[in-house]
């Protein structure tokens, strides 16, 4: 019986993807073909340009979305503040009644506790009262209902507060109702030019008139014709 040697087993890996690196395998003849190498270089450049373009598009979309979120957040906050301002404006007459009760000494007991609690809540919501005696008159935030004059003020001043005004986060809810005192003599002081003009006007007109001087001398010395005679 003759012994035969087994044929060696040859394994050829024809997979197009390298299982180790995960990259596409190039044919063995590609390296030896200059034309194929040039085509591969062109393909790689086009792929890189397309990748850069898609990356720029993605970055632009991300920036637009970030700006949209910021704008939406601002609009949501503004809408919320507007809603709170509307509710506070409706409750201002209640605050006016509480202030009147406080001024007359009627705000006592449980009613005072409720009023104090409301004041704390309104302060946390950003409600601010304004309008005090001595504030310069500002038509943007003051509503003048009466006027008088006095020498004790140098500019239009709120001297009577009939109803306080209110703001909510710099938003004007209601102007303050005030009585305004204006300066009595805003231009009482005259400047140097006016004083000089007044002195010129007060000077006698006959100071520089020769005829008037001659008449004055004739009156004092008598009649010149009579003296010659």
Structural domains present in the chain: 127-185 (2.30.22.10)
| Predicted local distance difference test score (pLDDT) of residue 31 | 47
| Nearest partner of 101 among 114, 88, 82, judged by Cα | 114
Say how far apart CA 162 and CA 200 lie, in whole Å. Answer: 50
How many whole angstroms separate alpha carbon 44 and alpha carbon 32? Answer: 18
Would you say the pTM of this structure is higher than 0.75?
no
What pLDDT score was predicted for residue 35? 63
Q: What is the pLDDT of residue 128?
A: 94
Token pair 């007459």: residue: 93
From 164, 154, 161, 214, select the one nearest 184 (Cα to Cα).
Answer: 154
Q: What is the mean pLDDT of residues 168-193?
A: 79
Q: Mean pLDDT: which of 22-36, 56-70, 194-208 is highest?
A: 56-70
- In whole numbers, what is the pLDDT of the chain averaged over residues? 78
179-to-5, 99, 104, 116, 197 alpha-carbon distances in Å: 124, 19, 21, 28, 39
Please compute the mean of the pLDDT values over residues 48-75 and round it to a whole number: 93
The β-bridge partners of 177 are 143, 163
Inform me whether the pLDDT recorded for 17 exceeds 70: yes
Residue, of 132 and 7, whose pLDDT is higher? 132
Average pLDDT over residues 90-113: 91
| Contact present, 165 and 92 (Cβ < 8 Å) | no
Would the pLDDT of 56 be above 70?
yes
């Amino acid at each position: 019986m003759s012994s035969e040697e087994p044929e060696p087993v040859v394994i050829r890996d024809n997979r197009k993807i390298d299982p180790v690196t995960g990259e596409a395998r190039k044919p063995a003849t590609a390296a030896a073909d200059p034309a194929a190498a040039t085509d591969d270089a062109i393909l790689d450049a086009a792929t890189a340009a397309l990748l850069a373009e898609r990356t720029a598009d993605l970055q632009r979309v991300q920036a637009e979305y970030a700006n949209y979120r910021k704008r939406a957040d601002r609009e949501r906050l503004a809408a919320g503040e507007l809603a709170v301002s509307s509710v506070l404006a409706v409750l201002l007459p209640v605050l006016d009644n509480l202030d009147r009760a406080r001024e007359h000494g009627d705000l006592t007991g449980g009613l005072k506790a409720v009023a104090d609690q409301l004041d704390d809540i309104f302060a946390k919501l950003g409600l601010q009262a304004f309008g005090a005696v001595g504030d310069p008159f500002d038509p943007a935030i003051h509503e003048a209902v009466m006027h008088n004059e006095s020498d004790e003020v140098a500019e239009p001043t709120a001297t009577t507060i009939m109803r306080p005004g209110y703001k909510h986060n710099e938003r004007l809810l209601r102007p303050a109702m005030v009585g305004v005192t204006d300066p009595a003599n805003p231009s009482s002081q005259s400047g140097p030019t006016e004083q000089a003009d007044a002195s010129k006007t007060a000077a006698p007109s006959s100071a520089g008139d020769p005829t008037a001087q001659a008449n004055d001398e004739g009156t004092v010395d008598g009649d010149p014709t009579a003296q010659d005679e």
